[in-house]
Every structure is written in structure tokens, then in C-alpha cells.
Amino acid sequence: MNRESPPYAAQKCIPPIPANHLPHLTSSSVIMWAAWQEWSNFQTIKGLRWWLSISITNEPTRRIIKRALDNAGKLLVPYPGEFIFMATDEAQAILGSPNGLGLGYFLIQHKSQPGNMYVSGVVVYHGDTMHQSPCLAFAVMPPAATAPGQNQGSAVADSRVPSPTGNLTSVCEELERREAEAHGRRNKHGGGPVQVH
């Protein structure tokens, strides 16, 4: 899907398209919601785990990715790429890029469907194409349960832990395991969370 917004694309048309002739669906988050509704046959959207942006051509996003990888001492490599935890400035910059912003809006605008979710990190890799364009795979997951009195903010993964390897499913499973360890887990008697130190 071309993620160029209608107002931006309209500026490049000859003759220019007036604003009142543009579609009402103008943001990628709204367009992806409509597409997901269609693809899921209007079933409840639960279990969202990945948000992909592939073959990125947007220059501001490409510059952000390059700077983030440079700052992290990583290279743009083929899949499975480099996983960057969202607790880092580099991953947060990528999430704030033009190709990442739509995910934040998607999760906020439609919270009642996928539920309370957060972005735990991003896999950065280049496509298996002649151009080797950058690709992003944002890991999305529900926050780990917190104990009463514990910080209710977003779960933060320890960025010092080595990046998980393997396919996107195994990355998500590894993140869920780490989040459970980092934020406590229920003991075998079904009692409250046990703190992991």
C-alpha cells in the first residue's frame, strides 16, 4: 500500500486536486483500520502483534532509520534484521517517523478493538530486493500485568538484553517471556505477582 497521504499526493498532480475533492480517509491509521476491517471480515481485532512498513521510500523516515542504526552501532541488514527495544531513543525516533506514526494513532483511535496494546520494539531490516529498501516490523503486545502500587505506565524492556533472533513470531514470544519476567508473574498457587529481581 502506498502510504502517501491524499493531500500530499494531490500537490504533485497536474492539474492540482482541490482539497474539497479529496477522500475523507486521509491518514494511514484510518486507511489501515478500514483495510483490516475488510480483511478480517469485520471480526473483532484481537491478537495484533506486528505492524509492518516495507520498502520504505519516505526520505525523512530513511534518514531517521540510518541515524538510529548508526547511533546503535548497527547496520541495515537482511531479515531477520536488528531488533531495537522501544526503551531506546533510537526505537522511539523510528516510531515517531512518518512510517511509524500511523501505528500510534491506530492503537489510540481503535483501542476498544485490539485492546490496551503498546509497541515493545522494532525490527529494522532491508528488503530482499535490488534496492534493499529499509523495512520496519513494529512488535505490538499487551502490557504485562502489574502489581498493586507498581508503576502502571508502559512496560519497558531491558535494552541490555541481547536481541532475540528468529522469525517475527519467535521474536514476539521472546518479548512476551521477557516482559513476564520483568514485571512479575503469578505463582503456582494463583496468588499475586511474584517480583523478579
pLDDT digit string, tens, across residues 83-111:
999 999 999 999 999 999 989 888 888 78
Alpha helix locations (H) across the chain? 6-11, 28-39, 59-72, 89-95, 101-109, 168-182
Domain segments of the chain: what residues?
A: 46-144+155-194
pLDDT for 151: 46
pLDDT for 196: 28
pTM, rounded to two decimals: 0.66
Would you call the peptide bond into 15 cis, given omega within 30 degrees of 0 as the criterion?
yes
